[in-house]
Amino acid sequence: MIRTALKPRWLALLALLVVVVWSFTQLGLWQLGVSSNAASRELAEAQAARPTESLGAVTAPHQPFPQDGAGLSVTTTGEYVVADQFLVPDRLLEDRAGYWVVTPLRTDASGEEALLPVVRGFVTDPALADRPSPATVRVTGTLAPSEAPVPGSQPEGQRGSIDTADLANDWDGAIYSGFVFLVEEEPAVTAAAVDRIPPPVFGESGVVWRNVGYGLQWFVFAGFAVYMYLRFLRDDTLKDRPAAPARPALVPTASQGDTP
C-alpha cells in the first residue's frame, strides 16, 4: 500500500485530502464557537432585560448575597469614602493589564448605614486612580458576589480581590456581601482617566445545540473523506498485485492393490 500511495496521483489526492480535512475541521470548530457565542449573547440580553431595582429592595448588610442577585442592575445614593479606596491588581480590560479602582459607597439604602464596594473603573497605572471629592452621588451598577480571597501580601493600598468578609475586618461599619460594577454615576465624579468596565455576564451560558449539530456534521464529513481515501487506496493496491500462479491439478495414482 505504501508503494501505491507514493504514486503521483495518490500524492496529489493526499494533498487534497489534507486540505479538505483541515477545512472541514475548521468549519466544525467555527460552528462550535458560534454556538457558544450565541448562547453567551442570549444570556447577556436576558441579563440586560432585567429591570433596575433599588439596592435596598434586593439585599441588605449582614445578609447573604441574594441567590439571583448576580448580574442584577441596582441603584442607590450615597457618598464615596475615599479613605478606604483600594486597587485590585492583575486585572484585564481589552487585553490591557491593570488595576480595578474600588471605592466604598456609604449608603442607607436598606435603612441602615453601610458600605457598598463600587468598582468605579480600570487603570493601567496606580497613579491614574483618582480620588473623588466627597459628594452625594447616585450610583447605578451591576451587582456581583464577593470574590474569593487571594493569598499573599499586596502593596499598600491594594488587595488581591474584593473579598467582603476580609473588608469587614478592616472597614468601620456594616458592609454588604457583594459589590457593584459602576455603570452610571450622577453627578459624574469619576475622572476620565479611569476607564469604565463593561458589566460582566453571570451564569452558565450553555450552548446552542443546532450549531453543535452542524459542527459535528463537519467532523463526520472529515472522517468520511479519510475513510474513502483509504478505501480507494486499498482497492488500487489490491488491483496492482500480480495474480498468484495457478496450482497444477493433482492426478491420483493407482496403488498396487488396484492393478488388475
Residue 220 placed within a domain? yes
- Work out whether strand 96-107 and strand 114-123 pair parallel, antiparallel, or are unpaired: antiparallel
Residue 254 placed within a domain? no
Which pLDDT does position 208 carry in this prediction? 59
Which pLDDT does position 62 carry in this prediction? 87
Residue 69 placed within a domain? yes
Q: Say yes or no: 90 and 167 in one domain.
A: yes
Q: Say yes or no: 113 and 227 in one domain.
A: no
Which pLDDT does position 243 carry in this prediction? 53
- Domain of residue 81, CATH code: 2.40.50
Beta bridge partners of 121: 101
Burial class (CB in 10 A: 0-12, 13-18, 19+), 208: buried
Question: What digits encode the pLDDT tens for the residues 109-152?
Answer: 888 899 999 999 999 999 999 999 888 999 999 999 999 998 88
Number of domains making up the chain: 2
Q: Say yes or no: 160 and 95 in one domain.
A: yes
93 in Cβ contact with 114 (< 8 Å): no
Q: Say yes or no: 122 and 180 in one domain.
A: yes
Note down the domain range covering 12.
2-44+207-240
Rounded Cα gap, residues 164 and 212, in angstroms? 40
Which pLDDT does position 1 carry in this prediction? 61
Whose cell is 484585564? That residue is 92
- Closest listed residue to residue 145, CA positions, set 73, 80, 66: 66
Q: Say yes or no: 178 and 219 in one domain.
A: no
Show the low-confidence residues of the chain (pLDDT under 50): 260
Residue 245 placed within a domain? no
Which pLDDT does position 198 carry in this prediction? 87
